[in-house]
Chains A and B, each alone.
Chain A
Amino acid sequence: MQHAPAVVADGLTKRYGARTVVDDVSFEIAEGEAFALLGPNGAGKSTTVEMLEGFRVPTSGTARVLGADPQRADRDWRSRIGVVLQPTGQAGALTVREMLTHLARVFPNARDVDETIEAVGLAEHASRRIGSRSGGQQRRVDVALGIIGRPEVLFLDEPTTGFDPQARRAFWQLIRDVAADGTTILLTTHYLEEAEQLAHRAGIIADGRLLALDEVDRIGGAESRTPVVRWTDASGRHEVRTREPASVVRSLPGEPTDLEVIRPSLEDVYLSLIGAVEAEEAAA
């Protein structure tokens, strides 16, 4: 029997008055898959994820996570979900270990507390009060709180915002480990590299609309990945899209200046998609 997808967004739409924040977004995430929602700030990523977490009510469309409507979900459902919200800062007089020990008692299938603290790289900070730690360390506490319950589905909203590059790499390894345990992951990020590093598939979202949805190395369609050959000769700058860039280069007469062969990266694809939306908005 085919497993049902772990996460389904079907025509999810969220309007506040006349403003449409999320506009007919649909995707599915298979069990055990890591999926990234990629887009600039204010694109509607968090709102989409919050509808799937049960924290926002969709104006229309359906959200299903582990087969249940997040709006009607019970405690058993909650115990199978891990949530890392957008960073808000951590208040608190509790130490890292006290906080995690408490939540480990709330979840029925919790991870080992010290193992989790170790995994997020906070072993030296375990006995320090959360409120006294740096922003990046508090963010790692957030991540620890998200995974302490050994979730089947983990939502990560902008998990590495404010991390230095080293902390970001350590975090990526942590998420790969969590994914290797079979956890389904939905990650929002505005870092392309993060999506490339962590996700099997990605959706690109801008202005509330899902612009592209595919495997990370195929996103934007084959056409957008076609190599581009550019050169300059006496008649000016030329650009040719071709699947056979070597032949094109060989056929060029003489020695053109500024000869380039470009294989568009995810970044180029992303920027062209986002650019199109911005141009459209400027025209409107």
Chain B
Amino acid sequence: MLVPVARAFLVLLLAVLAACKPVNDRKEIKTVRKMGKLAPDVELGLDLMERVSGKSQEEANAGASDVPFAWDVPDGWQVVPGSAMRMANFSFGESAEGQCYFTMLRGGGGLLLNLNRWRGQMGLDPVDEAALAALPDRRFLFGNGKFIELEGEFKPMGAIESLPGYKMLGLIMPEMDMGDIKVAFFVKMTGPKALVESELENFNAFCASLRMKRARQ
């Protein structure tokens, strides 16, 4: 009685062993999911680096670690290992909840565009050119930059939820010619409102200390 069953089992066993070979086939997609009305929006048109790292274009284009800039690190700031995105990268606060970084963007992308993108990250509505023009100027690197101060619910790229009670300080150097390319420079600080306000002097000091390495040689 067991012989035919054993034979059948053997055939099945051989089939299983044959199926162990890695697949290389074609498969039709058959499942369709109807989207809910409250489904999250999708960010389209992002390049691979933006999709993978969640970094903004300005960060992605910030270049390699051998940056031609130097700076002074304010007291109490922790140096966070640099990345291809951020030329200078710091955290501060008891739980390192505040952060500040310096980046460069090839092409710039336009001052108003960047301002409104930052406003979007803070949950604020976009503004027009008139509001941009009204922003205070600050001495920054090779000229004047626009100083930006925003409060709201900060949503870092790739974060699950917004962080309420946050403040953002920013300094943007508009597009400037550097040889055959245009670049823009950014310093951006984010953190809980009280913490960022307590670090305002350090932010100003850090921005003022930014310089080209060659300038001192």
Specify whether A and B are partners: no
Partner-B contacts on A (CB < 8 A): none
Residues of B within 8 A of A (CB): none
